[in-house]
Structure 1
Amino acid sequence: MPQVATTAHTRPWPTSTPPALLIAVVDLHPLAWSLLSNLRPVPSSPGGPEKEKAPIAPLTLAEFATNLMVFLNAHLASRWGNEVAVYSATAGKAVLLYPQPDEEPSRLRPNFYRPFQLLDTRFQEQLKAVFSAEQQRLEEADGKGLNDPPALVSALTKALCYISRRRPPETHPTGMAIADEGKSSNPELPESRILVLNATPGGAEDAAALNGKTAKASGGSGGQRGYVGLMNCVFAAQKAKIPIDVLTLPPESTKTAPPIFLQQAAHLTGGIYWRWNGRGGILQYLHSLYLPPHSLRKRPFTQPPQDAVDFRAVCFCHQDVVDIGFVCSVCLSIFCQPKPVCQMCKTKFPRSAWATLKELAANVEPIPLPNTVVAPRQRRERPPTNGASTLNGPPPGTEVIEIL
């Protein structure tokens, strides 16, 4: 039997991947899930073309938790050595759901994969404990604090610390530790990534928010007050080569804006951002988009087309999302209007520049954003022929795989 010759040019993706650590940050805000569990179908437009689409159906937390457990179990089963950690983000608080220090279940089941049993039992127990605590706070504190945004920034910070503790430092051949730049000589070093499952909408989409220069509540998921902390987490994940994937659940039928800061986090760290359409298929979205590791997403798999990224920021004076901002040259604070004195570092600006800055603030128009980003066209790669003619095809006995 002739040997099949394969080269690096005919198979550009790796033959094996290292173990992967997946940290899921789940938004469990009660008000957000109350909105998702009461989704209403969109009325069909009169006279429009009939399209066969699945109807918009409500999504309950119990159904979503079941799909999430199936997805996490699929991640554990895809490769030996894969690990999972789950953080919950409620109103003003982030809690580690899995793993717990006392991982051993009270009763081991025979003929049952042990990681599956640990994940299923502990995840369900901690999920019930979180909602018992929320119910107790609702009864004792009379709902005080439930209007606070979900603590996604706190959960992301804990997730990054968890990855930092689990990631061993790289060592030089001389024995000295070196900085981790995302590239490791150890092929078994775990490949870490974070998946944010957002349930909090970004805010109402009205004419004032879309056409004006400021939008009061379009940040989403912690919004304006957690902007600085979220950006710090994003820059830390970007330097550590940790992708942040985002799946936002409130569909467009709710007339709410997407969480632009989470969209920026996915774009800057090389993750995948996707918005659910409200027509079911949560498990299919999780498996097809977020199950492959980051090293296999471009080859042999492909990423879905991403929406245009909204790079607006938050002003430090009114906590508004602004299209045009004025940045302090000393501390880089952002303001929606020119200030004679910086409110953060107390730097005084020259009076001669006030008139020019106010004129620019009054005349600048917001920049419209496209719906999607056009993917760059990739060139077709062909295997080397080793001097043979390309008219007769590759030499016999060679495995040829074309990447379109």
Structure 2
Amino acid sequence: MKDHSTTEDDSNLLVIVIDTNPFEWEHSSAPIKLNDALQHILTFMNAHLAGRHDNKLAVIASHVGVSQFLYPTLNDHILGSTQQTEKDANVYQNFKVVNDAVLSGIRGLLEDHRPTLEEKDLGSSKIAASLSLGLCYINQALKLDGMGHVKPRILVLTVSPDSSSDYIPIMNCIFSAQKANIPIDVCKIWGEDAVFLQQAAHITEGIYMRPSDPAGLLQVLMFSFLPDMFSRNYLYLPGQDQVDFRAACFCHKKIVDIGYVCSVCLSIFCSFSPVCSTCRTKFAFQPLLSQARRLGARTAASNPGSPKTSTPGTPVGTPTNLTSSATMAISTPSQ
């Protein structure tokens, strides 16, 4: 959909979230290693800064157990100064500042923060925390921009699988980004599709891609994720044919295909419970179940010659629409 609120004179703020989960990058089946992928990502960052003189960039590392800014650093953000680096006559100074900050930050994460066995068992990065940091940084940048000429967007580069425990924080970030008109682009470098990030790109009208050949990551970044918000109005960008809208239950934190939703607080559960564990609402399920059983008994009595068959998990003589009755019961709190 064309965005008429952007112009070619607007500056672009790109917040990049890099998944630095060492357990995934160092996996034996990984088609590309972190060091090689960083070379592609740094080139993409430099291309973004070279697009306009007033383009802005922020880089956040999503590590196991921690999420932190790589660029700008905390001291630079507070003092409003640029990081002091050695000058190189063969390299554009702004590129060198960004490259050194990102590489040194990732190196420090890998050396200083060594994930524990419990974090390894979880096997997930702090994507939700990184999205929260990015949205807070964008909100501050928009407040400092009184003219409204800064157009922000978020790009997530990830290799980790979904973490069902992060479902609620990620959905909160998605709806916050949607309300602020901040698109969330996702590049799933390799591995299975990320269900929650698919929803993030779809809801915020961003781009979701999973490269067929991770070795050509730079080409994917340059052609699909480099165009700014104004240029996207005139480009045919890749989209999603199908979006996985599955959710994670609030009780066991697992992704479910069919669940029970509380009509009061919209909590999702993988199995029925007469009392919502989130808002403590009680549901009138037993009366409807008894009524369905009585209806099934009358039906069986009126047709004594009919065979008594039942579907798996359904009592004998119970109508097949018992599931819909149960669903109605879940959506109707008891008085």
Q: TM-score, normalised by structure 1?
A: 0.66
1:145 to 119, 123, 144: 119
* Number of the residue aligned with 2:311: none
CA contact (8 A) 2:10 2:149 kept: yes
CA contact (8 A) 1:333 1:344 kept: yes
Distance in 1, matches of 2:325 and 2:254, equals 17
91-100 or 319-328: bigger deviation: 319-328
Q: CA deviation at 1:354?
A: 4.6
The C-alpha deviation readout for 1:134-183, integer Å capped at 9, x for no partner, is 3xx35xx5x44223321110010010000011112787xxxxxxxxxxxx
| Distance change in 2, residues 1:72/1:286 (3 Å) | same
CA contact (8 A) 2:7 2:230 kept: no
CA contact (8 A) 1:338 1:354 kept: no
1:265 to 194, 197, 200: 200
| 3-state SS of paired residue (2:108) | helix
* Number of the residue aligned with 2:168: 228
Distance in 2, matches of 1:241 and 1:298, equals 15
| 3-state SS of paired residue (1:81) | coil
Number of aligned residues? 288
Within 5 A, what are the aligned runs for 1:129-208?
A: 129-134=108-113, 137=114, 143-148=117-122, 149-168=124-143, 186=147, 189-201=149-161
* Number of the residue aligned with 1:125: 104
* Number of the residue aligned with 1:343: 277
* Number of the residue aligned with 2:256: 322
Distance in 2, matches of 1:249 and 1:32, equals 11
| 3-state SS of paired residue (1:67) | helix
Mark the runs of 5 or more structure 1 residues left unpaired by the alignment. Answer: 1-11, 40-57, 172-185, 202-219, 252-256, 365-404
Distance in 1, matches of 2:244 and 2:85, equals 49
| Distance change in 2, residues 1:342/1:319 (3 Å) | same
1:24 to 12, 16, 20: 16
Mark the runs of 5 or more structure 2 residues left unpaired by the alignment. Answer: 77-81, 293-313, 315-321, 328-335
**In the alignment, structure 1 residue 288 sits paired with structure 2 residue 223:** yes
Distance in 1, matches of 2:324 and 2:215, equals 44
| Distance change in 2, residues 1:316/1:59 (3 Å) | same
Q: CA deviation at 1:18?
A: 0.8
| Distance change in 2, residues 1:170/1:118 (3 Å) | closer
The C-alpha deviation readout for 1:336-395, integer Å capped at 9, x for no partner, is 222111111111111223566x8317999xxxxxxxxxxxxxxxxxxxxxxxxxxxxxxx
**In the alignment, structure 1 residue 278 sits paired with structure 2 residue 269:** no
Q: CA deviation at 1:313?
A: 1.2
| 3-state SS of paired residue (2:200) | helix
1:247 to 180, 183, 187: 187
| Distance change in 2, residues 1:128/1:360 (3 Å) | same
| 3-state SS of paired residue (1:145) | helix
The C-alpha deviation readout for 1:65-123, integer Å capped at 9, x for no partner, is 01000000000001110111111111121011111124332422346422111101111
Within 5 A, what are the aligned runs for 1:358-397?
A: 359-360=322-323
What letter is aligned with 2:32? Answer: L
* Number of the residue aligned with 2:310: none
Distance in 1, matches of 2:5 and 2:171, equals 32
What letter is aligned with 2:19? Answer: D
| 3-state SS of paired residue (2:215) | coil
% same residue: 37
Distance in 1, matches of 2:200 and 2:326, equals 30
- Alpha-carbon RMSD: 2.6
| 3-state SS of paired residue (2:62) | strand
CA contact (8 A) 1:86 1:96 kept: yes
CA contact (8 A) 2:6 2:229 kept: no
| Distance change in 2, residues 1:239/1:13 (3 Å) | closer
CA contact (8 A) 2:274 2:282 kept: yes
CA contact (8 A) 2:199 2:245 kept: yes
Distance in 2, matches of 1:63 and 1:362, equals 55
| 3-state SS of paired residue (1:271) | coil
